[in-house]
Amino acid sequence: MMSSQLTNPSVPSDKWVENKSERKRLNWTDAAFFAVLMAAAIYILRTWPQSMDSYEKWILIATTFFLTWLGWLWRPLRTLSIAVFLIALLAIGLYDGNLNHAQEKFLLKYLISSQSAILWMSALMFMATIVYWVSYFYPKVDWMGTIFTWAGVVFGFVGLLVRWREGHLIASDMGHIPVSNLYEVFVLFCLLTALFYLYYEKRYNTRALGGFVLLVITSAIIFLMWYTFERDAATITPLNNALNSWWMKLHVPANFVGYGTFALSAMVGFAYLVKHHGNTNTWLPMTPLLLIGAALVAEVFIFGGQQGRPSAEFSGFWLVYFGISIILVALILMMRKRIAEKLPSFEVLDDMMYRAIAVGFAFFTVATVLGALWAADAWGTYWQWDPKETWALVVWLNYAAWLHLRLMKGMRGVVAAYWALAGLVITTFAFIGVNIFLSGLHSYGEL
HEC string for 119-151: HHHHHHHHHHHHHHHHCCCCHHHHHHHHHHHHH
- Cβ atoms of residues 348 and 18 within 8 Å: yes
Write down the pLDDT at residue 235.
87
Of the candidates 164, 151, 179, 176, the residue with the CA atom closest to the CA atom of residue 113: 164
Taking the C-alpha atoms of residue 36 and residue 290, their distance in angstroms, rounded to an integer, is 50
Taking the C-alpha atoms of residue 30 and residue 147, their distance in angstroms, rounded to an integer, is 24
Q: pLDDT tens, position by position, for the chain (447 residues)?
A: 344 434 333 343 444 455 554 456 778 888 999 999 999 899 888 887 877 778 778 888 998 999 999 999 899 999 999 999 999 999 999 998 888 898 889 999 999 999 999 999 999 999 999 999 999 999 999 999 999 999 999 999 999 999 999 998 888 778 788 888 889 999 999 999 999 999 999 999 999 999 999 999 998 998 888 888 877 888 888 887 777 777 888 889 999 999 999 999 999 999 999 998 887 765 545 566 556 665 555 555 554 444 444 444 455 677 777 778 778 888 888 888 889 999 999 999 999 999 999 999 999 999 999 988 888 887 788 888 888 888 899 999 999 999 999 988 878 888 999 999 989 989 988 888 776 665 555 555 555
Write down the pLDDT at residue 174.
80
- CA angle, residues 300, 212, 125, in degrees to nearest 5: 80
The helix/strand/coil state of 306 is: strand
How far is CA 206 from each of CA 55, 79, 202, 326, rounded to the nearest angstrom? 41, 21, 7, 27
Write down the pLDDT at residue 306.
44
Write down the pLDDT at residue 168.
87
Write down the pLDDT at residue 288.
63
Residue 23, sorted as left (phi over 0), alpha (psi -120 to 50) or beta, turns out to be: beta
Q: What residue ranges in 72-125 does DSSP mark as E strands?
A: none
DSSP letters along 143-175, please? HHHHHHHHHHHHHHHHHHHHHHHHHHHH-TTT-
Maximum Cα–Cα distance across the chain: 66
Of the candidates 385, 417, 373, 367, the residue with the CA atom closest to the CA atom of residue 179: 367
List all residues 6 or more positions away from 401 whose beta carbon is below 8 Å from its beta carbon.
none
Instruction: Tally DSSP H helices, then E strands, for the chain.
Output: 16, 0
Is this structure's pTM higher than 0.85?
yes
